A and B are shown apart, each in its own frame.
Chain A
Amino acid sequence: MSDLAAHVVILGAGHAGGTAAALLRQYGHTGPITLVGAEPLPPYQRPPLSKAWLKGEADADSLALKPLEFYAEHDIDFRPSTRAVEINRGERTVRLSDGAALTYDKLILATGARAIALPIAGADLAGVMFLRTAADAELLKATIGPGKRLAVVGGGYIGLEVAASGRALGAEVVVLEREPRLLARVACETLSTFFRDYHEQHGVTFDLGADVAGFEGQDGRVTGVRLADGRIEPCDAVVVGVGAAPNDEIAAEAGLETARGVVVDLEARTSDLNIFAIGDVAHRPMPIYDRMFRMESVPNALEQAKQVASAITGRPAPAGECPWQWSDQYDLKLQIAGYAFDVDQILVRGDPAAAKFAVFHLKGDQVQSVEAINSPPEFMMGKQLILSRRPVDKARLADPSISMKEVAA
């Protein structure tokens, strides 16, 4: 059987899985495609859930990657509200939660990641929420509003986006963060301070160095967050945003190699020739940094969807891309390219006080990553510099009177 006629089974109907199904058809795959998704909705975009959608600026239709009819029209057997429970690699079958079994020629794991829960008292109280799915977002939106006090546990990007949207919806917002600064894992001091000031100007309060010990409740509903030092932050709702863990158990149980995610190569292929893994669940090589890691971003899900669709339809692998992501908070546009690995110098270009600046992270004279606030040229050129590994003149890079085109020239 030629590969174009193979039965491709995709587990997980999120951004990565949905895009892979559509790309397979775009690339000429003629064989059956089955897309199995645990959620009731067809594949949709998560980024607006903490931003435009939460603020009421985007509707459900605009969240969907493709309209529901798309799947039938393109002969993609979409099975919503169905979970894959076991992979049998010997028989090439997948057992589903509804009892059905599917036989595959090629299997794509696109099961994503799930929000990490806090194993503390009161975590099961009503009003203690996560933000990972459209259903989570619906619940959150129905809970917050004017006169409500929202506590956000975790000062990472999702937590800060929720804080900004919460303010836009008229809620009081307090962000509780264990580290002494915001975005401690992902951003430098300049950016942490900038975001803290900006959010405070918009009425968000912060409790940094706050060790969350439990949730207080009444009649089954959360009423406050208890800190290790005994203090209680009263609230009507909590969003826990402390990171995500890959849904790789089903792969590990089937004997596939895993390491904080399912291990794959640049074709998104796992240790089994007929099985691929893409998106948040994959632990992938990143050649520009000469290492492997797991990324949680839409561009990563899209890049790997292209890799797998190319591999299955016999196209050459797509050119490597620079990893990147974005975040919208208030009127700020934050664009991040690359990751700050092995950085020995940080350079700020522009003026944080004017909310228009970029932070470059350098290793020697190479750009490892850039965080650009309201600065598209720095982001776009930074992305190219990261990918090309070209050396930069640091004095010129630090001088905003020299355009990014000239810096890179």
Chain B
Amino acid sequence: MAKITYIEHDGTEHVVDVKPGLSVMEGAVKNNIPGIDADCGGACACATCHVYVDEAWREKTGSSSAMEESMLDFAENVEANSRLSCQIKVSDALDGLIVRMPESQH
């Protein structure tokens, strides 16, 4: 299990254990954490699972694919540490990961 902290835009924190193999998006959705809509269920087709990866974790979460990059390009309030959370696979190496949610996914 990897402990992941999801921080809503208003600062509310949710700390949950996520099974390795799931995506960071699935970890949020299965725990009913608000702020990640994930309309396409992880097909990299909607960009409604946008998160900001905590600086300390940027390297460990890897880099985005060309498809993810071009989806993110059109999401709102994109920053250098923006990712689509459905494209980040949880592993033991991500134990302690912190992600923040944007104000809105649409």
Contact = CB atoms under 8 A, between A and B. Distances in A.
Contacts of B37: 302
B32 A298 contact: no
Interface string B71-93: 10111000000000000000000
Contacts of A343: none
B39 A380 contact: no
Contacts of A298: 39-41
A92 interface: no
A26 B47 contact: no
Contacts, number: 59
Contact of A376 (B22, B26, B67, B106): B67
A371 interface: no
A333 interface: yes
Contacts of A324: 46
Contacts of A328: 43
B30 A67 contact: yes
A333 B22 contact: no
Interface residues of B, number: 23
Contacts of A376: 67, 70-71, 73-74
B96 to A, nearest CB: 23
B45 A326 contact: yes
A265 interface: no
A65 interface: yes
Contacts of A374: 67
B26 A25 contact: no
A359 B81 CA distance: 32
Interface in A234-278: none
A49 B42 CA distance: 14
17 contacts: A25-B32, A47-B40, A62-B22, A65-B29, A321-B106, A324-B46, A333-B43, A333-B44, A333-B67, A335-B45, A376-B67, A376-B74, A377-B73, A380-B71, A380-B73, A380-B74, A380-B75
Interface of A: 22, 25-26, 45, 47-48, 62, 64-67, 70, 74, 298-299, 302, 319, 321, 324, 326, 328, 333, 335, 374, 376-377, 380-381, 384, 404
